[in-house]
Amino acid sequence: MQPIKSIRPFIEALGTEGWDIMYQTVQSIPPGYFIIADAKRGDIGNTSALYARAFFEQLNAHALTVAPYMGEDSVKPFLNFKDKWVILLAHTSNPGSADFQLLESKVTHRKLYEEVICKAKTWASAQQLMFVVGATRADKIKSIRQLAPDYFFLVPGVGTQGGDLDEVSRHALTSECGLLVNVSRSVIYAASDAGFARAAALEARKIQQQMAGHLSKLS
């Protein structure tokens, strides 16, 4: 499988036309790329099932990010699709992640994001489920890896948000299990003039080579 491209459905802001543009964009991606719809859905079961159809069948994405707040029956409908992945929000990369994700349970002494990981592991194997763990949480990523040694992490926050790719890789990239490092804004906003294609390609290549360096250390 070739490197990753991530699709963020922000063009929903353009209305119906935005959806058209998104479908056309996804259709123009050559085979062999892993397509992530970073849509952060999550609703009661019957609605989640319809969201799953929208992203997995209509859009034909391989993976979808899902918000865990509503619990098991809001996540499970996304797991009923063969060869599709759920990427559950655990510890996100934004400042507000501290508001609720760090709340520590009186009973288990685990933080909310740790509870999310521990419970979700009972819902699906590492063949169907990954977790969002922000690169801006590099100090914690080692203990999060211990909590879920077999599961892939989707790691946003490298680039514009200030996350350190080297530190994240050192702590969470193992010979058993990997990372999907999602770099969006520093690539898609690499330039706003006619030189965009080249500037974006250079930025993406830079990150890809950094990752390749870390991967080569493992083999």
Give catalytic residues, as residue numbers. Answer: 40
The residue (of 43 and 167) whose beta carbon lies closer to a second copy is: 43
C-alpha distance across the termini of the chain, in Å: 17
Query: d(Cα 187, Cα 166) in Å, to the nearest integer?
Result: 18
- Binding region for a second copy (CB under 8 A) out of 73-81, 140-148, 171-179, 208-216: 73-81
CA dist 212 and 218 (Å) reads 10
Which one, 32 or 95, has the nearer CB to a second copy?
A: 95
> Of 50 and 197, which has the nearer Cβ to a second copy?
50
Token pair 């859905």 is found at 41
- Spatial neighbors of 210 by CB under 8 A, at least 6 apart, are 165, 166
The answer to whether residues 136 and 93 touch, using CB atoms and an 8 Å cutoff, is yes
User: What is the smallest separation between the CB atom of 112 and a second copy, expressed in angstroms?
Assistant: 6
- Regarding 101 and contact with a second copy (CB under 8 A), the answer is yes
Torsion angles phi and psi, residue 186, rounded to 5: -70, -20
Please identify which residue in 3, 33, 34, 70 interacts with a second copy, judged by CB under 8 A: 70
**Residue 153, both tokens:** 């992490």
Among residues 4, 6, 36, 51, the one that binds a second copy under rule CB under 8 A: 51
* Identity of the residue numbered 27: Q
Report the site for a second copy in 6-25 (rule: CB under 8 A). Answer: 8, 10-16, 18-20, 23
Interface with a second copy, residue 1, by CB under 8 A:
no
Binder of a second copy out of 74, 128, 169, 182 (CB under 8 A): 74
Handedness of CA 96, 123, 117, 208 (dihedral sign): negative
H/E element, 208: helix 196-218
CB of 184 to a second copy, least distance (A): 10
User: Are 173 and 214 in contact, with CB atoms under 8 Å apart?
Assistant: yes
Q: Which stretch binds a second copy (CB under 8 A): 28-36, 42-50, 145-153, 201-209?
A: 42-50
Give residues in contact with a second copy (CB under 8 A).
Answer: 8, 10-16, 18-20, 23, 38, 40-47, 50-51, 53-54, 58-59, 67-75, 89, 92-101, 103-107, 109, 112, 115-116, 119, 185
